[in-house]
Amino acid sequence: MPAPLSLLQTLVQTLVRPLVRAVTYTRWLHLLIGAIVPLAGGLIYPGLSDPGVVDWLIAAALPVPLVAAAALLPSARRAEGLQARLMLFPGKHARVRATGEAGAGEAGVGEAGVGEAATGISATPSASWTDRGRTALWLVFRMGAGLAAWLLTIWLLQVTLVLSGVSVEEPVLGSVTPLAGAAPLAPLPFLALLALVVAGGRLDTRVARRLLGPSVRERMAALEDRTERLLERNRIARELHDSLGHALTLAVVQAGAARAAGDPEFTDRALATIEETGRAALEDLERVLLLLRETGRRPPGAGPGLDEAARLLDSARSSGAVVEAVITGPVEELPGPVSREAYRMLQEALTNALRHAGPVPVAVQVAADDSRLSLLVTNPLPEGRPPAVPGSGSGLRGIRERAALLGGEAKAGTANDTWQVTVTLPLR
């Protein structure tokens, strides 16, 4: 296709495409609805029989205090936001998304979800004077722009009729004198009206995004909500890593020890330990999957705590490792988050010891008092292997992250030919 024809086709598509979209006309209708208030007020004063330009200005200015006062109502912003979503951005993303926690008379709106993300329009009640001020500006703009759009629409249609030879008795914006032989020019005002429809709808949409968009407080709330979701997913990933990693490591060590021992009794004990550890891992997996699916059901448990450390130590001993544990202080009275995270950190430390050093002697010291919890896991370095780089590996990184989230500190490294994992967590 020659270049001029291609350019002409592109130009025609650019001009025609907006005219065949339904959203163009819903936007124009949204703009015209704003003219209802000044038209209704103008019928009372100054009266719209043979109005002039001054009369139209008075009709546009008089309702300003009324609409500004209406913007003080918190629900005004919500109503305008919902209407803007439905008429300026038609589609599934514009609809209200009810939540299971909303009452029958108050459906939840996903401001930080699909609706706001797709349209840039908030549909929450005003929460500050800034929100009320922006809503007042929006109402005044919508009223004035709607009146101007209504007047231009009627006037351009009248000009089209006049140029076509039809007389108009009461023109809206003054009389129009037809020219002789002006009939070929009749389509021009109508084309100008179509251009006005497209441009006015886009202007209305742009101003709506500016004045009805999320406030700084709403943006911060959405950012905090997103951050919390990411942190929750990271926590779930750590839960899966710690629980399943410990179960698989223990199963591998137990199976290898049973095969090397060749003792039926030891093999039976190893299989029993593998079964128990696997069952506990499956329970943890089910609990985590319930959280990921967001089915609304409560998980079967909040996870094991440090008061259940005996089961964890017994499973490590059954793999052939010699585990000496010293637990002092009121461990069973620890705060829930501290107890659960400490259990996971102890689990990861034992898993690392079994995975990298095999069934070696492991010393565990747990001390709790009124202000802090201390955890120390020590095991000899494996022979013939270079010592690990402190802080390497996702398991050690997870231990440090868990400790940091609780305001504590975790360290891992070599000391006197041993590998030590040290954790200190504040209780307040």
Check if the beta carbon of residue 59 is closer than 8 Å to that of residue 147.
Answer: yes
Lowest mean pLDDT, pick from 72-76, 358-362, 373-377, 386-390: 386-390
* 116-to-97, 124, 319 alpha-carbon distances in Å: 11, 10, 54
Indicate the DSSP class of residue 71. T
Residue 116 φ/ψ, nearest 5 degrees:
-70, -40
* 177-to-150, 157, 158, 180 alpha-carbon distances in Å: 22, 14, 11, 10
What is the rounded average pLDDT of the residues 160-179?
72
- Greatest alpha-carbon pair distance for the chain in Å reads 115
pLDDT digits (tens, 9 = 90+) for 346-359: 988 888 888 777 77
pTM for the full model?
Answer: 0.54
pLDDT of 116: 65
Lowest mean pLDDT, pick from 235-239, 354-358, 389-393: 389-393
Among residues 216, 242, 184, which one has the least CA distance to residue 393? 242
Lowest mean pLDDT, pick from 25-29, 175-179, 309-313: 175-179
- Residue 1 reports pLDDT greater than 80: no
Confidence of residue 171 (pLDDT cuts 50, 70, 90): low
Check if the beta carbon of residue 236 is closer than 8 Å to that of residue 290.
Answer: no
Q: Mean pLDDT across the chain, nearest whole number? A: 79
pLDDT of 11: 67
Lowest mean pLDDT, pick from 79-83, 110-114, 327-331, 364-368: 110-114
Query: For the CA atoms of the chain, what is the radius of gyration?
Result: 36
CA distance 349 to 341: 12
pLDDT digits (tens, 9 = 90+) for 44-90: 888 888 788 888 899 999 999 999 999 999 999 999 999 999 999 87
Percent of the chain whose pLDDT exceeds 70: 78
What is the rounded average pLDDT of the residues 237-253?
72
pLDDT of 127: 87
Query: Distance of alpha carbon 380 from its chain centroid, rounded?
Result: 46
End-to-end CA distance of the chain: 76
Confidence of residue 393 (pLDDT cuts 50, 70, 90): low
- Residue 98 reports pLDDT greater than 50: no
Question: Given CA atoms 44, 45, 48, 50 in this order, what sign does their dihedral have?
Answer: positive
Among residues 192, 206, 81, 74, which one has the least CA distance to residue 132? 74
Query: Distance of alpha carbon 121 from its chain centroid, rounded?
Result: 15
pLDDT digits (tens, 9 = 90+) for 37-49: 999 998 888 888 8
Please report the beta strands in 178-317, taking only residues with DSSP state E, as ranges in sequence order: none
* 154-to-87, 150, 171 alpha-carbon distances in Å: 22, 6, 9
Bigger pLDDT: 25 or 96? 25
pLDDT of 388: 52
Exposure string of 376-388, with b = 16+ CB inside 10 Å and e = fewer, is bbbbebeeeeeeb
What is the rounded average pLDDT of the residues 351-369?
84
What are the structure tokens assigned to 313, written together?
């130590």
Adjacent-strand bridge partners of 377: 364, 421
Beta-carbon contacts of residue 57 (< 8 Å; ≥ 6 apart): none
- The residue behind tokens 């942190």 is 231
- Residue 21 reports pLDDT greater than 50: yes
What are the structure tokens assigned to 92, written together?
């599934």
Q: Burial level of 166, CB count in 10 A (0-12/13-18/19+)?
A: exposed
- Residue 213 reports pLDDT greater than 70: yes
- Residue 301 reports pLDDT greater than 60: no
CA distance 302 to 309: 15
- Residue 97 reports pLDDT greater than 60: no
pLDDT of 162: 83
- Residue 26 reports pLDDT greater than 80: yes
Residue 262: other Cβ atoms inside 10 A: 8
Using DSSP's 3-state secondary structure scheme, residue 390 falls into coil
Percent of the chain whose pLDDT exceeds 90: 28
* 158-to-55, 81, 147 alpha-carbon distances in Å: 20, 34, 17
How many helices (H) and strands (E) are present in the chain, helices listed first? Answer: 14, 5
CA distance 151 to 351: 77
pLDDT of 290: 65
Using DSSP's 3-state secondary structure scheme, residue 250 falls into helix
What are the structure tokens assigned to 304, written together?
């094991």
pLDDT digits (tens, 9 = 90+) for 274-298: 777 777 777 767 666 665 655 444 3
Adjacent-strand bridge partners of 424: 374, 409
- Residue 166 reports pLDDT greater than 90: no
